[in-house]
Amino acid sequence: MAEPAPPPRPYVRITGSLSRRMIFIAAAWIMLLLSGGGFALDRVLTSAVTRNFDDQLEYLLNSMMVSAQIASDGGVVFNRPLGDQRFLEPYSGLYWQVSGKGFEPFVSRSLWDRLLKVDHPYHDMKVHEYDSGQFPDQKLRVVERDLKLPGSTVIWRFQVAQDRQTLDEQINAMRRTIVRSFLVLGLGLIFMVVLQTWYGLIPLRKLRIAIARLRAGEITRIEGEMPSEVAPMVEELNALVAHNDRQAEEARRHAGNLAHALKTPLTVIMNAASAQSGELSQTVVREARTMRRQVDHHLARARAVGRRGSSHSRADVSASVEAVERAVSRLYPHVRIDTDSSPGLVAHIERQDLEEILGNLVENAAKYGGGSVFITARAEAGFVEIMVEDDGAGIEEADRQRLFERGVRLDTGKPGTGLGLAIVRDVAEIYEGTASLEESEDLGGLLVRLRLPAAG
């Protein structure tokens, strides 16, 4: 038993989810902004906490400098003790020191057997702050300043140092708060993006369901309220469905007309063949010509209908007029054909259809006229108007409308199928144009006025 054929592959290549794409882009942008904002906030708050820490040390430094005075041996002493008890406890984490060239450093009891390094030479009397790792068990924050005391020529360096542990704990606690807060904020924003995307794409999901119902034949057009971003697409979709319906209806009507037109000649041929008529060959030829005219007519309409929907249907009128004039002049060398076409005229029609229309009109004018044909093309209120005039006998007004019917010929003495003007009218109407017959004021014969939409 033969294996069933595999199902056809979908003709649309899926490149991913629109929802996921929108959520991913929004989430990435949110995380980028929050990361940047969190980093900036961390820098600001860390600087503020550190500045506050340094201000406290600078306050102690100022207290030292205010209390300092020169002793009888030239060294530095304080005229009052510093108030913080930690200066008296060994390795308490808060220290002070006064150093001068040629003198032993004057230190707090908390330093015990240690000394603060004096490594940075300065050439100013400003306060300086820095971190120091000179103690293996403590990371220090040092604030120092050089000062020349009254009564002394020595430049003394006053230093206050404190263990950074408290400062680092404050900074770490602040950073944990920032990270947690921004993480909660980011997750909340991403959740809102997911909710917004889901809610925002509801119209597209409704549209997909409506298209499925449209394809199933449950509805004939998509109706209902739509957002302004989706409404134009729905309108274009409805217009496309209506256009396809019109084309399908035209195809059914043309197929019916063709079948009806061929039915009578086939019946005549079958009857002649069944009766074994002696004029069977003439009957077949005559009816075959009739069927060929009908087939040519409907094929011309079908080609025009198939090309009508193209938005690129454009034809240079001047070029088409010149091409038709050259072709007809070779067929009727005794006929004079004059043209007057405005430059730059472009009609909304396929060039092949335009040249077929003009070929019918100009050939009829050359065949039935008196030897002169005049072609004029100009722009007229959004249309391109083409007039073909001849100097023949003209046509009575009562007979003009009849000439647009298939197979009608007023002059049977010359060869033809009687489908020329019928094809002209039908193709012009397919492109939303018109064709009419009038009397030529200049040449006195027939004037055919063709109006086609101008291409933008």
CATH number at residue 338: 3.30.565.10
Query: Do 340 and 295 reside in the same domain of the chain?
Result: no
Q: Where are the beta strands (DSSP E) in 357-433?
A: 372-380, 383-390
pLDDT tens for each residue of the chain, 456 residues long: 455 555 555 556 777 788 889 999 999 999 999 999 999 999 999 999 999 999 999 999 999 999 999 988 888 999 888 888 899 999 999 999 999 988 999 999 999 999 999 988 888 889 999 999 999 889 999 999 999 998 888 999 999 999 999 999 999 999 999 999 999 999 999 999 999 999 988 888 888 888 888 888 888 888 888 888 888 888 988 888 887 887 777 777 666 666 666 666 777 777 777 776 667 777 777 777 767 766 766 666 666 555 555 555 788 999 999 999 998 888 888 999 999 988 889 998 888 888 888 888 898 888 888 889 999 999 988 899 999 999 888 777 767 666 655 444 444 444 443 346 777 887 888 888 888 888 888 888 888 899 999 886
User: 272 vs 42, 250, 278, 293, CA distance in Å?
Assistant: 104, 34, 9, 21
Query: Do 87 and 127 reside in the same domain of the chain?
Result: yes
Query: Do 47 and 167 reside in the same domain of the chain?
Result: yes
Query: Do 152 and 270 reside in the same domain of the chain?
Result: no
DSSP codes of every residue in 127-186:
-EEEEEEEETTEEEEEEEEEEE-TT--SEEEEEEEEETHHHHHHHHHHHHHHHHHHHHHH
Query: Do 150 and 46 reside in the same domain of the chain?
Result: yes
**373/389 Cα distance (integer angstroms):** 6
Asked if residue 5 belongs to a domain, the reply is no
Asked if residue 407 belongs to a domain, the reply is yes
User: What CATH code is carried by the domain that includes residue 65?
Assistant: 3.30.450
Report the candidate in 103, 98, 58 with the shortest Cα–Cα distance to residue 78. 98
Query: Do 163 and 266 reside in the same domain of the chain?
Result: no
Beta bridge partners of 438: 447
Domain count, the chain: 3
Helices (H), 275-382: 280-308, 317-331, 351-368
Asked if residue 36 belongs to a domain, the reply is no
Asked if residue 217 belongs to a domain, the reply is no
The answer to whether 418 and 408 are in contact (CB under 8 A) is yes
Give 8's DSSP letter: P
Which of 283, 306, 329 is the last residue before a domain boundary? 306
Which of 171, 191, 206 is the last residue before a domain boundary? 171
User: 116 vs 50, 61, 90, 144, CA distance in Å?
Assistant: 21, 14, 14, 11
Which of 131, 156, 171 is the last residue before a domain boundary? 171
Asked if residue 391 belongs to a domain, the reply is yes
Decide: residue 393, CB within 10 A, 0-12 exposed, 13-18 middle, 19+ buried: middle
| pTM (2 d.p.) | 0.55
Query: Do 328 and 448 reside in the same domain of the chain?
Result: yes
Query: Do 149 and 46 reside in the same domain of the chain?
Result: yes
Query: Do 275 and 323 reside in the same domain of the chain?
Result: no
Query: Do 259 and 390 reside in the same domain of the chain?
Result: no
Report the candidate in 377, 376, 445, 378 with the shortest Cα–Cα distance to residue 411. 445
**100/155 Cα distance (integer angstroms):** 6
Consecutive H or E run containing 28: helix 18-67
Query: Do 68 and 132 reside in the same domain of the chain?
Result: yes
Report the candidate in 326, 293, 258 with the shortest Cα–Cα distance to residue 415. 293
**410/421 Cα distance (integer angstroms):** 12
Phi and psi, residue 195, nearest 5°: -65, -40
264: left (phi over 0), alpha (psi -120 to 50) or beta: alpha
Asked if residue 282 belongs to a domain, the reply is yes
Query: Do 110 and 127 reside in the same domain of the chain?
Result: yes
Phi and psi, residue 179, nearest 5°: -65, -45
**What is the torsional sign of CA 116, 120, 121, 124?**
negative
Asked if residue 278 belongs to a domain, the reply is yes
Asked if residue 15 belongs to a domain, the reply is no
For residue 300, what are the domain limits? 231-306
